[in-house]
Structure 1
Amino acid sequence: MIAQISGKLVEKHPTHVIIDCNGIGYMVHISLHTYGQLGAEESIKLHTHLQVKEDSHTLFGFFQPIERTVFRLLISISGIGASIARTMLSSMSPQEIQHAILSENLAAIKGVKGIGLKTAQRVLIELKDKVQKIEGNDEIPILQSNRTKEETLSALEVLGYTRRQSEKVIDNILKSTPDSSIEELIKIALNKL
């Protein structure tokens, strides 16, 4: 299996890149998330997943190892192929997907084009334990306080604040103090709104 590819970036498109490795041009399929992280550098390195089928060998590239890990988890689910997994990673960041799975946010998963209700439910059921075991999950401190966040947002909506403006403030508070109670979050948010 090809685990990574390094070389000169020859072409860059939202769905794929071509990387020159010692005179051979490799077409690597990417998500919009990876596309957004690729700069104008000539030399790049992508973590890869090689999909071998009867009629094709397809190389998928990811800027971060965590994105490849989430991709592999997604394609392990019946009903999700590589193209739907790539669409999902184009719609949401790997961290957002992990967050949606751990918080059992069915609407977020179902909102991805190509994923129906049953497949979304399967994703939540089959991947919850696997996502919790991913290294680096400590990078998502908001996960444990998702219910607290939702209840705080509901309370602020009752007080007349829009969900959109409240959510940004609450996210910032939770990043600095993830163990805040609902009451503490409301008090701090009211001072910042």
Structure 2
Amino acid sequence: MIAYLEGKLSYKEPTYVVIDIQGVGYQVFISLNTFSFIKGMERTKLHTYLHIREDAQLLYGFSTPEEKKLFLDLISISGVGPNTGLVILSSLSPEEIQQAIINENTRVIQSVKGIGAKTAQRIILELKDKMKKEGLTASKDVNSVSYSANHAVSQEALSALVKLGINKSTAEKSIQRILKKENNGISVEDLVKMVLKAR
């Protein structure tokens, strides 16, 4: 098992990065939360999870051990695979996820693309007591940082959304609608989150 990777960020975008370690490039799939943390860095250390399928071996990386643990908790739930786990962590912050689970707020969990009522209830049912025993509490203060909404931001967001399984045409329309409302600008990760939450 690969516990973590530390090296130079040779390529990065909202859905994955390539970490160069002594001339070997490792492709690592990431959440928007991790992208927000590392996007200004030249080097990074990501806590990783190796998912082995019959047709592929995929690495998922996280900026903190806490986010990795939350990801592992989520994918332990029946019906929640690694890609869905990343979509959840890209749609909501770890604090928002914890708060929703502890407060049994199925509406927040269901706001994530692809999560239905039964899956949301299962996540809460199976993780609520575990999180309380670990003393985890969720913060209600979620900081958001806005950047200029320009063509580069919309294109980067579109690329991320398509890779997360959103229809390109649908994503483009949602991006345009949101950018019209965000007069003060918006970051790539916030834009993607807003599209993912849109029903």
Scaled by the length of structure 2, what TM-score is found?
0.67
- Give the paired residue count: 140
Task: Give per-residue Cα distances to partners, 1:50-73, cap 9 Å, x unaligned.
Answer: 101111110000001111011001
Task: Determine the C-alpha separation between the residues in 2 that align with 1:113 and 1:101.
Answer: 17
Task: Determine the C-alpha separation between the residues in 2 that align with 1:106 and 1:22.
Answer: 45
* Aligned counterpart, 2:63: 63
* Aligned counterpart, 1:33: 33
Task: Give per-residue Cα distances to partners, 1:127-173, cap 9 Å, x unaligned.
Answer: 111222346x25x466xxxxxxxxxxxxxxxxxxxxxxxxxxxxxxx
Task: Determine the C-alpha separation between the residues in 2 that align with 1:86 and 1:32.
Answer: 8
Task: Determine the C-alpha separation between the residues in 2 that align with 1:56 and 1:32.
Answer: 23
* Aligned counterpart, 1:96: 96
Counterpart residue type for residue 132 of structure 2: Q
Pick the structure with greater CA Rg: 1
Which of the pair is proportionally richer in helix?
A: 1
* Aligned counterpart, 1:122: 122
* Aligned counterpart, 2:106: 106
Counterpart residue type for residue 74 of structure 2: L
Scaled by the length of structure 1, what TM-score is found?
0.69
Task: Determine the C-alpha separation between the residues in 1 that align with 2:32 and 2:67.
Answer: 11
Task: Determine the C-alpha separation between the residues in 1 that align with 2:11 and 2:79.
Answer: 31
* Aligned counterpart, 1:44: 44
Contiguous gaps of at least 5 residues in structure 2: 141-199
Aligned residue runs from structure 1 range 128-143, under 5 A? 128-134=128-134, 137=136, 140=138
The share of aligned pairs that are identical, in percent, is 50
Structure 1 stretches of at least 4 aligned residues deviating more than 4 Å after TM superposition: none
Task: Determine the C-alpha separation between the residues in 2 that align with 1:85 and 1:8.
Answer: 26
Q: Which has the higher contact order (CA 8 A, sep 6+)?
A: 2
Q: Secondary structure at the match of 2:40?
A: coil
Task: Determine the C-alpha separation between the residues in 1 that align with 2:41 and 2:68.
Answer: 21
Does residue 74 (structure 1) correspond to residue 74 (structure 2)? The answer is yes
Counterpart residue type for residue 107 of structure 2: A
Task: Give per-residue Cα distances to partners, 1:73-97, cap 9 Å, x unaligned.
Answer: 1100111111111000001111110
Q: Secondary structure at the match of 1:18?
A: strand
Q: Secondary structure at the match of 1:114?
A: coil
Contiguous gaps of at least 5 residues in structure 1: 143-193
Task: Give per-residue Cα distances to partners, 1:70-126, cap 9 Å, x unaligned.
Answer: 100110011111111100000111111011000000100111101111111101111
